[in-house]
Copies of this chain bind each other. A is one copy, B any other.
């Protein structure tokens, strides 16, 4: 019933604990005969080294922590998948915690992970996070930290993000390439970096094509919900009757917009083209299907873990770590809500 230990193997075999330990790890100073003996008994006893004891001795837990704002979210679950698969590859396990977009909870989760002596932490910040001392505490404890997606530039560590500005540029450019001349933008709140960057990409694309930037075409949303998509589409149609394209900050809002346009029998993309952002699953299912920017969550997870892994390794070897900023390229998924080229 109780798991077997080195001691058990040692005593039943009339050996010392050290010899058993070394036999199992193929040390050269153990004879082949005893190695065989030890390994066989270990097999039949179903011996597994006690992880806590190993960690205590070797100082590494082979475990990392992951803190995200919300598990039930297509993008984040893709990230999780990427991280888990990559971590498994390197023999690491992943403890997942959720901040629920709350700063307080985020702090608490970080605390838990530090207590657990994880070898590293991957984090995507909660919206509410305004102070970063808890993250500095992580670094101070000698734990490697890598931020992804929702980051804070001020924290000194490696980061993996999406090149939001370029993605937004490309999306807007695609609208222009397919003939749109009056392009509106539904943007997110003023503070989050990605909402800013997407707006800047939109603006840059206009200017790059000698299309005048008209601030009245930019609508600032708050909740980023389906309902807001409907509402601001109504507003937009009321304010401007010459719109032929909308670049929308996120797919859910875009779907709200499409629903509203459908209701009014406005033809997509013949009259108005729509392009979204994130490539939610339902975007391929709505009618018409939604062209959008694909956020490579899986890749982001993989990259983030790889970075973390490298830094953990370097730290162990006592080498210096130079923090990196990785910007992932996005790609555009062309569907039926924009015209073909």
> Taking beta carbons and an 8 Å cutoff, which residues of A are in contact with B?
1-3, 46, 48-53, 55-56, 61, 63, 71-74, 77-78, 80-81, 84-85, 88, 93-98, 109, 112, 114-117, 137, 140-142, 226, 252, 255-256, 259, 262-263, 281-282, 284-287
Contacts and interface: CB of A to CB of B under 8 A. Distances in A.
Contacts of A56: 50, 52-53, 56
Contact of A71 (B84, B109, B281, B286): B84
Nearest to A3: B141
Copies of this polypeptide in the complex: 2
A117 B281 contact: no
A74 B72 contact: yes
A93 B93 contact: no
A106 to B, nearest CB: 13
Contact of A116 (B77, B81, B93, B109): B93
Given A50-B117, A71-B77, A117-B50, A96 B96 contact: yes
Contacts of A74: 72, 74
B61 A52 contact: yes
Contacts of A2: 142
Contact of A95 (B3, B93, B98, B287): B93
Q: 8 tightest CB-CB pairs across the interface, nearest first?
A: A282-B282, A52-B55, A52-B56, A52-B52, A71-B81, A72-B77, A48-B115, A77-B77
A264 to B, nearest CB: 13
A93 B48 CA distance: 21
Contacts of A55: 52
Contacts of A53: 52, 56
A3 B138 CA distance: 11
Given A52-B61, A73-B77, 10 more contacts: A63-B95, A71-B81, A72-B77, A74-B74, A84-B96, A85-B98, A88-B97, A88-B109, A95-B95, A282-B285
A284 B53 CA distance: 50
Most buried by B among A49, A93, A112, A259: A93
A109 B96 CA distance: 16
8 contacts: A1-B140, A52-B55, A85-B98, A93-B95, A93-B112, A94-B96, A262-B287, A285-B286
